[in-house]
Structure 1
Amino acid sequence: MANPLNQISNLVSQAVSGPVGALTDAVHRPSSVGRHRPLYGLNVLDALRGKSLENSVKDKVTLITGASSGIGATTAIRIGAAGGEVVLVARGREKLEETAKLVEAAGGKAHVYPCDLSDMDAIPQMAQQVQADLGQIDILVNNAGRSIRRSLELSYDRFHDYERTMQLNYFAPVRLCLEVLPGMRERGFGHVVNVSSIGVQTRAPRFGAYVASKAALDMLCDTWQAETRDDGVRFSTVHMVLVRTPMISATTIYQKFPALTPDEAADVLADAIVHQPRRVSPAFGHAAAFADAISPQFMDMVRGAGFKMFPDSKAARGEGQPAPAEAPVADGSLTPAAKIFTEVTRGNHW
């Protein structure tokens, strides 16, 4: 019986070497994530309709969690450059104030509200204080998150990984939403942008705790959307691809993976603020979700191939423990098959 891993590798090689490979490369380029933007006709249409980040954030207060660095900070600066007013939330005041200076230098207005989002009592206190000080929160970007990459085998005695991940990625944004949604519904306008993950669509192995926490928020907001649509409230789920931020630095093989920069990721979020889509998903995420709906068994083989190609990181195994001898990335470099696999599944985290 043929080895499923070899079958998938052969299919991947054929796709990359042929016309399909060229198409795959085209649709996966960062500029095609979201609506920005080789589709210049859409830019013209947006201009005619008055759709721009400037108009979308004018006279509105945008609260961004995880705003001290990475995607959150870059998005805040982007909104500031559009003349917007942002509320910056994260644990550390010092880094938030650095972001605030950059927002104001770009032309925006920034407010710093330090908050430990793993503290369920601190969240309502912060949200209530923001609304008392500024009057309202019009746009909420739930960006803060925790990612854990660890296989099931290494997780048997680490239930706390699942608790901590759910706490920050699910319960924290839920608690925050429950504070801001009443005001949004009363005023007849509100927009919640949730930074989810392509992993929800691909069910990436080793990311069980992370994917489950993101999927929980996705599903919850789908149910809330039906209840709040007539109130002028919109929810946008952004299935973000791999982004080169400090959060992925512990997994050294990601240095070899295709990934967005924080600037490109901020473009995706800015585009979501402007167009208020229900979903923003990369091409491979759509393909994986469709394939999974048609044949979960096939996607099990694809996921199994990725699982075998890329081992647990040193951080996951415990510093000093050697990688498995058969691992194709044991020396920090990717084998040709692994390189092909990451290109075809571009943006996914394995």
Structure 2
Amino acid sequence: MAGLPPIPGLRELAALAAKPVGLVNDLSNRPLVLRPMDLLRGAGSVQDAVRDRTILVTGASSGIGEETARQLGAAGGKVVIVARSLDKLQALATEIEAAGGTADPRSCDLSDFDAIDALMESVLADHGTVDVLVNNAGRSIRRSVALSYDRFHDYERTMQLNYFAAVRLILRVLPGMREQRGGHVVNISSAGVQTRTPRFGAYIASKAALDTLCDALQAETRDENVRFTTIHMPLVRTPMIAPTKMYERFPALTPEQAGGLVTRAIVHRPRRLGPPFGSAAAFIDTLSPDTMDLVRNRGFKMFPDTRAARAVAAERSAEDAAAAPGTDADGNANTTGVAFANLTRGTHW
């Protein structure tokens, strides 16, 4: 990163990020590195973990949710797939059933609480209970605070879907899980919660709220064989990140790899999964918040707001390009930006 002044502690951060500190070895399809207790808790296969169990997956019409449902259906789970687009869900259900699985497509706008209540009343009436809930549906907003002063609604709608909808679902499935003394809630969170990524304040705040809520709920249900897992998912190449052009050169998981993380989390039921840099950043933040503030500020200055976020014309000015040393004038990540993205592997800047 020639021409950029050094950041105190960055060498140490790079050394930590290069080690398998977190629970995901890297952004490839290598095996998970799990804590010993996680290995003891779930030593079986995906088939053993999901066979004849009802698993509700939200946001199943594309990306992580779609691939998770596909893998769980192939393993023998009874998958209730939820999203707004019924036609996409029906196509996925047909595919799962053609491969020998079982799928139940349910259309629901999860930003509508009444719709969630109607969905769960119907699902519980038809299936009796939900054994595993995968809270995957979510909304991401990438916009700096300078462009958000008059956009309070961004924070409201993000919290509505990412937090309140998930809470509504949890409150409906938890009584049955506790009654049968067994159940699992998997929340797809973000590595940004660990790294506190700039420009994603609305998004990571909603995910952090769900993370900490489930820490409290886990304490209340631990002796009832109900398990909460938070996956601090790294960057995944899904339609959600497609509008940000520079991500095309960033290291990222495929949806298949991300789905594999979810299915393996259902087997081992760890409390948390996350990429190495996220774990390293959280650790360093505890020891030296100023160091991480400098790293985050470097990332913030290196990458600009998207054109959509700024609502500007297609042409970027020379001043804009010069102010963002991590991208070129067309918004593509340059060598410096790619190097920084690799150092902070898995983080969505």
Q: TM-score, normalised by structure 1?
A: 0.90
Hey, what does 2:135 align to over in structure 1? 142
- Check the 8 A contact 1:5/1:305 in 2, yes or no: no
Q: Which amino acid aligns with 2:156?
A: E
Match of 1:130 among 123, 132, 137: 123
Match of 1:298 among 285, 291, 302: 291
**Residues 139-181 of structure 1: CA deviation (Å, up to 9, x unaligned):** 0000000000000000001000000100000000000111110
Q: Which amino acid aligns with 1:270?
A: T
**Does residue 177 of structure 2 align to residue 184 of structure 1?**
yes
**Residues 282-341 of structure 1: CA deviation (Å, up to 9, x unaligned):** 111110000000111000000000001100011111141644131231323323322211
CA distance in 1: counterparts of 2:337 and 2:8, whole angstroms: 9
**Does residue 29 of structure 2 align to residue 31 of structure 1?**
yes
Hey, what does 1:54 align to over in structure 2? 47
Structure 2: which 5+ runs fail to align? none
* Equivalent position SS for 1:248: coil
- Check the 8 A contact 1:75/1:266 in 2, yes or no: yes
User: 5 Å matches for 1:6-21?
Assistant: 6-8=5-7, 11=10
CA distance in 2: counterparts of 1:60 and 1:5, whole angstroms: 53
Match of 2:211 among 218, 237, 251: 218
- Check the 8 A contact 2:134/2:187 in 1, yes or no: yes
Q: CA deviation at 1:115?
A: 0.5
Q: Which amino acid aligns with 1:53?
A: V
- Stretch moving more, 75-84 or 202-211: 75-84
CA distance in 1: counterparts of 2:331 and 2:66, whole angstroms: 30
Q: How many residues align?
A: 338
> Structure 1 residues 182 and 151 mapped into 2: Cα distance closer, same or farther (>3 Å)?
same
- Check the 8 A contact 1:61/1:86 in 2, yes or no: yes
- Check the 8 A contact 2:13/2:281 in 1, yes or no: no
Q: Which amino acid aligns with 2:255?
A: P
User: 5 Å matches for 1:1-350?
Assistant: 6-8=5-7, 11=10, 27-32=25-30, 34-35=32-33, 51-320=44-313, 322-323=315-316, 324-326=320-322, 327-328=324-325, 329=327, 330-350=329-349
**Residues 72-93 of structure 1: CA deviation (Å, up to 9, x unaligned):** 0111110111111100100111
Q: CA deviation at 1:125?
A: 1.1
> Structure 1 residues 132 and 341 mapped into 2: Cα distance closer, same or farther (>3 Å)?
same
Q: Which amino acid aligns with 1:347?
A: G
* Equivalent position SS for 1:6: coil
> Structure 1 residues 299 and 33 mapped into 2: Cα distance closer, same or farther (>3 Å)?
farther
Q: CA deviation at 1:227?
A: 0.5
Q: Which amino acid aligns with 1:130?
A: V
**Residues 186-217 of structure 1: CA deviation (Å, up to 9, x unaligned):** 01111000000000000000000000000000
* Structure with more helix by fraction: 1
Q: Which amino acid aligns with 1:231?
A: E
Q: Which amino acid aligns with 2:331?
A: G
- Check the 8 A contact 1:52/1:274 in 2, yes or no: yes
- Check the 8 A contact 2:27/2:251 in 1, yes or no: no
Q: TM-score, normalised by structure 2?
A: 0.90
Structure 1: which 5+ runs fail to align? 37-44
RMSD: 2.7
CA distance in 2: counterparts of 1:10 and 1:117, whole angstroms: 42
CA distance in 1: counterparts of 2:179 and 2:149, whole angstroms: 46
> Structure 1 residues 207 and 165 mapped into 2: Cα distance closer, same or farther (>3 Å)?
same
**Residues 212-258 of structure 1: CA deviation (Å, up to 9, x unaligned):** 00000000000000111112110000000000000111111111111
CA distance in 1: counterparts of 2:163 and 2:191, whole angstroms: 16
- Check the 8 A contact 1:33/1:282 in 2, yes or no: no
Which 4+ runs in 1 deviate beyond 6 A? 19-22
